[in-house]
Amino acid sequence: MDCLFCKIVAGDVPAEVLHTTERTVAFRDVDPQAPTHVLVVPREHFANAAELAAGDPEASAELVRTAAAVAAAEGHPDDYRLVLNTGAGAGQTVFHTHLHVLAGRELAWPPG
């Protein structure tokens, strides 16, 4: 499989890994959109959030738990945004489920 995030999980592509669990890996986004911009991915490959929820619901919950731990470790335990893009039309560019953790600045609504 030629998936960038699978390669990061495997350690074949370098990334600034901040947190790992049995099911997840969290690393800094290479194109940050906020002072804190971290991606949380499941270790197992699922193309999008819906596939992950159907295939491993516990990993879906673990993504959110990992995101909360990362936000707290980065100094933002109470104010952060979580974003899951599903499909190219919604802005997904890497088709391995990934949860964006954004914090450290005022985040406008609606996004995008």
Residues assigned a catalytic role: 98
Element at 105 (helix H, strand E): none
For residue 22, which of 9, 8, 39, 37 has the smallest C-alpha distance? 9
Taking the C-alpha atoms of residue 88 and residue 8, their distance in angstroms, rounded to an integer, is: 21
Distance, CA of 16 to chain centre:
13
* Joined tokens for residue 112: 């995008």
